[in-house]
Amino acid sequence: MAYQKLQANLAKVVVPSDTSYITAPGGADQNGCVLYIGVTGDLKVTTASNDDIVFKNVPVGFFPVQVLKVWATDTGASEIIALW
């Protein structure tokens, strides 16, 4: 199980992509990141355990799931920030 911190020390704007994984600033290896969602909507992600899933109507705020990828397909949420 991945450890989830309560504070972040790295942040990066996420551009949803069906091909690219989220990489930490500086290219550091990571076991996933949590997200901040700025505009509500559906969110398709690949979790740290490599499960692809669509979360419906994700509200604005913190999304406390360890995420490796935010998909462009099936994602309507926007203004997404990755936090490590």
Task: Choose between 64 and 1: higher pLDDT.
Answer: 64
Residue 46, judged by CB atoms within 10 A of its CB (0-12, 13-18, 19+), counts as middle
In this predicted structure, the answer to whether residue 1 has a pLDDT above a threshold of 90 is: no
- What is the Rg, in whole angstroms, of the alpha carbon atoms belonging to the chain? 11
Q: How many CB atoms lie within 10 A of CB 29?
A: 6
Q: For the whole model, what pTM was predicted?
A: 0.89
Decide if 45 contacts 53 (C-beta within 8 A): yes
| Strand ordering across the sheet containing 33-39 | 11-13, 78-83, 33-39, 61-70, 41-47, 52-58
